Chain A
Amino acid sequence: MEDMALVRKHELPGAPADIDERVDAILNRYSGERRWLINILFDIQAEFRYLPRDALEYVARRMAIPQVDIYGIATFYKAFSLTPRGKHIITACLGTACHVRGSIGVLEELQRGLNVKPGGTTEDGSFTLETVNCLGCCAQGPMVVVDQEYHGQMTPAKVRTLLEDERKK
């Protein structure tokens, strides 16, 4: 185990030194079976706000799953992020109902206001802009969610107000 720690070559900005211990704590909540892999990745993401490379490599070693397999799963499922996300997640819904009510204009305004593309994080690390393909709040569309707060009936104009309010906080 100690050899593995010495062989670590990749240090992402902010990857903590105790990463192995924290990942161990998560792995110990489950049996070593493959079926828990996605749960484990969710827990790691909740712990670090993203999936650090070191964590993924560690999981691969401990669960005896090939590295490329874990990396494939982490990139296949869009709920996972391999880059650190911002303190606040702004999610724009692009579902059909929101679309016919003009969600594209809302998204474009968010992109302009935050100066990021969907999936990206602002330079100061405060906001990550994401899109989702339906939240199930179709009556209140177009929808924008900031962390757990839902904002309905958004328009490009309301987006400008929302961003101003969020920045003030």
Chain B
Amino acid sequence: MIQMKFKTSKELEAHRSAVLKAQDPKRKWISFCVGTGCIASGAEKVAAAMKLELKKNGPKGVQFKETGCPGFCERGPLMVIHPEGIFYQNVKPEHVHDIVSRTLKKGEIIKELLYIDPSSGKQVTNEKDVPFYSKQKRLILGNNPLVDPTNIDDYMAVGGYTALGKVLSEMKPEQVIEEVKKAGLRGRGGAGFPTGVKWETTRNAKGAVKYIVCNADEGDPGAFMNRSVLEGNPHSVLEGMIIGAFAIGANEGFVYCRNEYPLAVKNVTLAVQQLRDVGLLGKNILGSGFNFDMSVVRGAGAFVCGEETALMASIEGKKGVPKQRPPFPSQEGIWGKPTNINNVETWANVPFIINMGAEAYARIGNKTSKGTKIFALVGKIKNTGLVEVPMGTTLKEIIYEIGGGIPNGKKLKAVQCGGPSGGCIAAANIDVPVDYEGLKQYGAIMGSGGMVVMDEDTCMVDVAKYFLKFLLEESCGKCTTCREGIERMLEIVTRMSEGKACLDDIALLEELANVVKDTTMCGLGNTAPNPVLTTLRFFRDEYIAHAKDKKCPAKVCKALISFNIDEKKCTGCGACAKRCPQSAISGENKRPHKIDQKKCIKCGVCESTCKFGAVSRR
């Protein structure tokens, strides 16, 4: 651990050399993910068991590192044993004893814990051979499994703060801005505005007091890219922010993190304190004369605070109600001062641009979109998790080659990209390259990176209903078209899902959606109709089926389906009958059971209880 403050970049480098020297590259150590996702799979119990086992029976000197999220969430808890790089998945507390006694002590591989590649059917021993990882370009996520987010030395060991040292000792602010512009970095929060230009505008704005902000209010349901980076390697974001503040001329910064990410809030707050302790935040950083400090501000349960003007109002202690732009934050932001707001991932890219140089960075990606992008691949997909690929990778590659395709033999139906502001890409169109421009032709956006995969069992009218319900709750309520418009759209779609709509309702829905999109002020409201408009465009037949035929082709909308027991499959075990909340299932022991449709409320308990697949929907 570091005891003193770094007064110059030489001191910083000297410490780094000391840290690296103390780390024998051939030493045995374990990398174990304790991100929120793996904790949900029981990682804390495994970690506790491992620490105990190492103490009791472990070989001496084995370091057990609790790291950030590597992104392979489907297979968590994840453990990698170094230096060999042996990759174990779905680790449970009962495996811990064997891992220590067999793998650590004898070098024996435990086959049951290895990952099996679903396409080749072969077992994979090494982390670097896992296709899910090897097909990605893990510029940012790659460091997560190497770093204990609470230990700044780990970040330094992977090269952390090299870029900051270089910037503060060798570069002028204008040069830094030029590098970022040359690299072609665009905002990763969704809008894709050229970052270098934003920094330049803020720098040139009138006034000596300026602020920078990290937008970590990742509210898109199904997106957790920012959570993983902030939880797993907070220093990577903070380094980018200090460099940005220097380039812009800001002396104070804020990290605005949503309240629903308590671990991210905890880790970034700790990281900020560590930086103060070592002198990388505060006065005269590394002897450059540059003063900068930052604070962590918590969100309070409002998705709309991901919108810049609402975010700034929240930092000021007010309600998160968006304001008219112009003036833009770069000219008039927090407390009226020029403010530069960037997304977590945008900030995390900055040290890479400085370290590898703008030209090398710009070679990744394609003409309009440079660098890599992290996507949250979730829903009906075999390999749920975080995927980092060069910009321009096609949706097909992401879903099939990295994602492993659709589970349970189902067919892909659509991919919802960009969260509630985005749209659904139909299965027929997945050859589209994913970047800032590619998805626009289908009325969708890449957004912040959420990708929800949907199969034939997903009802697109239900998807539209879901997003409208979400947005109605999150709307700030100011604009008539948002507040009333979304509510009325939801009414129409709800009637459709209940079989109470007619064909005219589809035209009304479309008309209303277009006006809401055209007329609402902020990004929440004027993109709220996108899920409706894209599903109407590519899945209109489903809407017609609901409105005209009163049928739900995907068998999701409760009012339009019934649950039935297949007499041939039913073993008469009675498990479903016991659990039915309405006592609607009757039958004798070991004889096929029946559901009383008049009593059935379609809760689905029977379907999820039955081990024989005898309950189905019609």
Contact = CB atoms under 8 A, between A and B. Distances in A.
- Do the two chains belong together in a single complex? yes
Given A138-B378, A139-B76, A152-B40, A96 B605 contact: no
Interface in B348-392: 376, 378-380, 384-385
A114 interface: no
Interface in B197-233: 218-224, 227-228
Interface in A99-123: 99-102, 105, 108-109, 112
B385 A139 contact: yes
Contacts of B463: 100
Given A97-B452, A139-B37, A76 B320 contact: yes
Nearest to A135: B260
B317 A100 contact: no
Contacts of A160: 579, 605
A150 B317 contact: no
B220 A134 contact: yes
A95 interface: yes
A157 interface: yes
Interface stretch (B48-56, B142-150, B243-251, B300-308): B300-308
A76 B301 CA distance: 9
B466 interface: yes
Interface stretch (A10-18, A19-27, A33-41): A33-41
A132 interface: yes
Interface string A120-150: 0000000000001111111111010000001
A141 B379 CA distance: 9
Given A34-B317, A38-B314, A139-B74, A109 B603 contact: yes
A136 B374 CA distance: 14
Contact of A139 (B316, B317, B378, B466): B378
Given A36-B317, A79-B301, A100-B379, A139 B73 contact: yes
A136 B76 contact: no
Nearest to B76: A139
A78 interface: yes
Main secondary structure of the interface of A (DSSP, over half): helix
Contacts of B317: 33-38, 73
A132 B297 CA distance: 20
B190 to A, nearest CB: 15
A136 B319 contact: no
A80 interface: yes
A105 B604 contact: yes
B526 interface: no
A137 B303 contact: no
A97 B450 CA distance: 10
Contacts of A80: 300-301
Contacts of A95: 221-222
Contacts of B224: 134, 136-138
A157 B608 contact: yes
Nearest to A79: B301
A72 B319 contact: yes
A112 B221 contact: no
Please list the 3 inter-chain residue pairs (A to B) with the smallest Cβ-Cβ separation, ordered nearest first: A139-B73, A136-B224, A95-B221
Interface of B: 36-37, 39-41, 73-74, 76, 218-224, 227-228, 259-261, 297-303, 314-320, 376, 378-380, 384-385, 416, 419, 450, 452, 454, 458, 463, 466-467, 470, 473-474, 476, 579, 581, 603-605, 608-609
Given A96-B378, A150-B36, 12 more contacts: A37-B317, A39-B297, A77-B300, A77-B302, A95-B222, A97-B384, A136-B36, A137-B73, A138-B379, A140-B73, A156-B604, A160-B579
27 contacts: A35-B316, A37-B317, A39-B298, A78-B302, A95-B221, A95-B222, A96-B452, A96-B466, A96-B467, A97-B384, A99-B221, A100-B452, A102-B604, A105-B603, A105-B608, A133-B470, A134-B219, A134-B221, A135-B36, A136-B227, A136-B261, A137-B40, A137-B73, A140-B37, A140-B40, A140-B76, A155-B604
